Structures are given as C-alpha cells and as structure tokens.
C-alpha cells in the first residue's frame, strides 16, 4: 500500500550522525565521527558486580514494571547530588528518570511545543535535539555562537521579533559541536533575558563533568529561582550510553506533565539500569570514576591537538576545548565540510561536517567536528595525518 506519513515526520531526515554511526561499526574506519565514550571508560567491573547483586537480592523488583517517574532511590540520589555538589535544584523542583537525555528533549518538546512555536537554539547545535524539535514542527530560530556562548544582541533580537518562543535551548558547557563554554556573565544574562521575555530555558548539560582544564562554572539552573530552567542530565558520558539512563530536573509541575507524556511514550526506563545507576551514585565513588575518565580523555584531547598541530595545514584551524568529547575544526572560507568529510570517508577516516549541526539545513559550513574520546591514540595519530594530507589536497 502507499503510506501517508504525518506531516511532522515526513520531512524529517535521519540524523547524519546516526547514519555515520552505522559506518563506524566497521572496525577499519577510524571513528572521529561518533560521540561515543571510550569503552575503557565504562565502569564494567562495578556495574557487573551491582547487576549480579541485584539479580541475587531483588530480581523481582528489578524485572517488574516500575513507575513512570523512575526508581525513587535514583531520583533522590540525583536530586541530592545535583543539590549538594552543584547547588542545582530547589525545594520546588523534582526529578524524572528518562531513557537517555534525548528523551528529556522529546518529552519537553511534546509537553510545551505546539506546531509553529519558536525554539531559540545556539547555531550550530546538537542535531539530535534539533531533529527532535523539528519532529514537533517547532520553528527553530538560530542565534550564532561566539567563543563564550550565544551572541546576546542577536538573542535579544530573536526574543523581540518572535512572539511565540517557548524556550531557549542551550548546551552551556563543552557545547556540541563546538566544545565551547558559555561564560558566567552570559549564563546570568540569558537567564535575565528569559525572565524579561517570559520564556523558559532548556539546559542540556551532558558533558559538564568531563572537564580537563579550567574552572567549573555554575549551571544556569543553579541561578534559577522561578522554575524557568528545565535541566537535562545524562549518565551516558560518565557511566555508559548503552544503558539509556538520563534525568530531567525541573519544577515539579513540569515534571508531572513530563511524567504523563512518559507514561504513553515508554511507560518507564529500564529498571535494572536505574537501580545500577543508583548504586553507582550511592555505593561507589562516582567522582573518583569521573576523575579517572577525565584523566583518560585529557590525554586523548592533547594527543589530537598535538597531531593537528603536526599534520593540519596552517590554513585549517581548530579550537582546543577545556572538556567534552569534541574538537571543532575549520577549513578555509569557501570550502565545504560535507565534501571534505566524504573524501576522508573514502580514505578510512570519518568526521562530521559542520552543516549537520546547522539550524538551516541547507547551510554550507567549512567546519568539521572531530571526536577524540573513542579513537585509540594510534588511530588519533594516523587519522589526523590522513585528514591533514587530505586537507592539503582538498584546499589545493
């Protein structure tokens, strides 16, 4: 039969990154494209121990239906950790456990966005969130990223010129794809603008604990006294992405609605891994684990930066991030990252073209995003060399 898909889905393109991920399952391709953690960073021994213990001591609870809000002890542990360690979350706030941070975006969009409503996004931004917003036919309004976060003048223009903006979507720390950090002054100012124009902020913060240099900055949510910020957190980068466990921390009225949406979406998140995440937070030294992961990734970041200095032509630039998983590289003006990445693909190295993260899907971008967490040191050296050689050829 001929299928007539809904308007919201028929124009949506598959995520370039997810498609690329399939290619990177080829072990011969050097994987600079994905956003995968290093397998060595997974706390395998600890999770395995916890899993065995749960199977031994309370299998019936772990395998039975749970509630849509999530496993209560995990919700409490998340609240406590965010409150004690990052002063984030108030008495009026609550937590829902979601099937990865991506579901936090999905449920928030479903609960707040009517077709045509505006969402202001950093430009460029994370394609998974952009496509989620697009899947509810939101009107995406891009505001260019500067080194320290959104261009505030353009943000204010966007707020002034668009009546129906529902929220500003930001990844304030080690932004995907740029790796940039929003300054404290901009965090304060964006919250102030949100207040002034009565819109919400969706703060997506999966990378903030992966800091390799520089000083921590407060979350935007930690400055929020009115329940204006919806904070989305993830265990993907500090424990494992395959477990699909994340959380949303927001005013309890918002969490109630997200819960209703989650009931009809997947009922609840895999319960065993909610319980495992809970034990990782409460019975193990998660901070020590994160510190170890940071040590590992710092070396990889440095290795990739060193290789770039060595192999990239001087016309091609890059930004050295203080954390996260990505380097943001740039071809000279006028060159297209898509054509370049395709060429690299044929030579066994995959990066992601910057246009994948553009708000305007037809934009041509000279940028390339490179991941340094997944490849080995050897792959970093070899892959960057191939890219450098290809660049010289590409830019003639």
Contact 366, 333 (CB under 8 A): yes
| Distance (Å, whole) CA 219 – CA 23 | 35
> Out of 193, 271, 308, 329, which residue is the one contacting its own copies (CB under 8 A)?
271
H or E element that contains 98: strand 93-98
Q: What is the DSSP letter of 33?
A: S
Spatial separation of the C-alpha atoms in residues 235 and 275, rounded to whole Å = 13
In the complex, minimum distance from the CB of residue 304 to its own copies, in angstroms, rounded to a whole number: 20
Cα(136)–Cα(139) distance, rounded to whole angstroms? 9
Q: Which is nearer to its own copies, 9 or 87 (CB)?
A: 9
Residue 302 buriedness (CB in 10 A; 0-12 / 13-18 / 19+): middle
CB of 2 to its own copies, least distance (A): 8
**Least CB distance to its own copies at residue 344 (A):** 21
Q: What angle do CA 37, 182, 354 make, to 5 degrees?
A: 55
Scanning 131-139, 147-155, 178-186, 207-215 for contacts with its own copies by CB under 8 A, the matching segment is: 131-139
Question: Taking a C-beta distance cutoff of 8 angstroms, is the pair 63, 272 a contact?
Answer: yes
Is there binding between residue 67 and its own copies (CB under 8 A)? yes
Binding residue count for its own copies, defined by CB under 8 A: 87
Question: With CB under 8 A as the contact rule, which of the stretches 208-216, 256-264, 335-343, 364-372 interacts with its own copies?
Answer: 256-264
Beta carbons within 8 Å of 194's beta carbon, 6+ residues apart: 168, 200, 201, 228, 229
By CB under 8 A, tell whether 301 contacts its own copies.
Answer: no
Residue 41, SS3 per DSSP: helix
Site string for its own copies, 166-205 (x = CB under 8 A): x-------------------------------x-x-----
Q: How far apart are the first and last CA of the chain?
A: 50
The smaller minimum CB distance to its own copies, of residues 100 and 172, is found at 100
Given candidates 221, 268, 300, 369, which one binds its own copies under the rule CB under 8 A?
A: 268
Please, what is the minimum distance in Å from the beta carbon of residue 61 to its own copies? Answer: 8
Q: At what angle do helices 271-282 and 72-86 cross, to 10 degrees?
A: 40
Token digits for 232?
A: 């989305």
CB of residue 252 to its own copies, shortest distance in Å: 11
Tell whether residue 51 is a contact of its own copies (CB under 8 A): yes
- Closest approach of its own copies to the CB of residue 333, in Å: 32
- x-or-dash pattern for its own copies, window 84-103, by CB under 8 A? --------------xxx-xx
Cα separation, 215 vs 211, in Å, equals 8
Segment interacting with its own copies (CB under 8 A) among 106-114, 118-126, 280-288, 295-303: 106-114
* Cross-strand bridge partners of residue 120: 141, 168
Question: Is residue 110 involved in binding its own copies (CB under 8 A)?
Answer: yes
Q: How far is the CB of 217 from its own copies (least distance, A)?
A: 24
Q: Which of 173, 176, 269, 379 binds its own copies (CB under 8 A)?
A: 269
């Amino acid at each position: 039969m001929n299928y007539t898909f809904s308007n919201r889905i028929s124009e949506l393109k598959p995520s370039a990154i997810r498609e690329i991920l399939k290619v990177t399952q080829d072990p011969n391709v050097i994987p600079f494209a994905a956003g995968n953690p290093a397998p060595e960073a997974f706390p395998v021994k600890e999770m395995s121990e916890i899993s065995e213990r749960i199977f031994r001591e309370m299998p019936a609870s772990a395998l039975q239906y749970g509630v849509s809000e999530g496993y209560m002890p995990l919700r409490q542990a998340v609240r406590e950790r965010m409150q004690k360690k990052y002063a984030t979350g108030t008495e009026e706030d609550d937590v829902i456990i979601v099937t990865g941070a991506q579901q936090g975006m999905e449920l928030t969009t479903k609960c707040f966005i009517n077709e045509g409503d505006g969402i202001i996004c950093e430009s460029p931004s994370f394609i998974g969130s952009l496509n989620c917003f697009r899947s509810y036919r939101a009107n995406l309004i891009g505001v260019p990223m500067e080194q320290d976060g959104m261009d505030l003048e353009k943000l204010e223009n966007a707020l002034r010129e668009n009546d129906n903006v529902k929220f500003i979507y930001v990844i304030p720390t080690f932004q995907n794809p740029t790796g940039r950090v929003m300054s404290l002054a901009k965090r304060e100012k964006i919250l102030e603008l949100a207040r002034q124009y009565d819109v919400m902020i969706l703060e997506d913060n999966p990378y903030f604990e992966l800091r390799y240099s520089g000083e921590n900055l407060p979350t935007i949510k930690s400055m929020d006294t009115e329940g204006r910020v919806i904070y989305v957190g993830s265990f993907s980068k500090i424990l494992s992405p395959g477990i699909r466990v994340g959380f949303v921390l927001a005013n309890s009225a918002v969490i109630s609605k997200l819960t209703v949406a989650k009931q009809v979406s997947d009922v609840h998140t895999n319960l065993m891994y909610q319980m495992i995440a809970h034990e990782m937070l409460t019975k193990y030294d998660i901070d020590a684990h994160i510190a170890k992961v940071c040590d590992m990734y710092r070396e990889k970041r440095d290795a990739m930066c060193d290789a770039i200095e060595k192999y990239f032509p001087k016309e091609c630039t890059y930004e050295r991030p203080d954390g996260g998983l990505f380097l943001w590289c740039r071809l000279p003006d006028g060159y297209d990252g898509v054509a370049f990445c395709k060429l690299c693909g044929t030579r066994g190295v995959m990066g992601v073209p910057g246009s994948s993260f553009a708000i305007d899907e037809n934009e041509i971008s000279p940028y390339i995003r490179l991941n340094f967490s997944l490849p080995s040191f050897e792959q970093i050296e070899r892959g960057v060399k191939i890219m450098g050689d290809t660049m010289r050829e590409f830019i003639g």
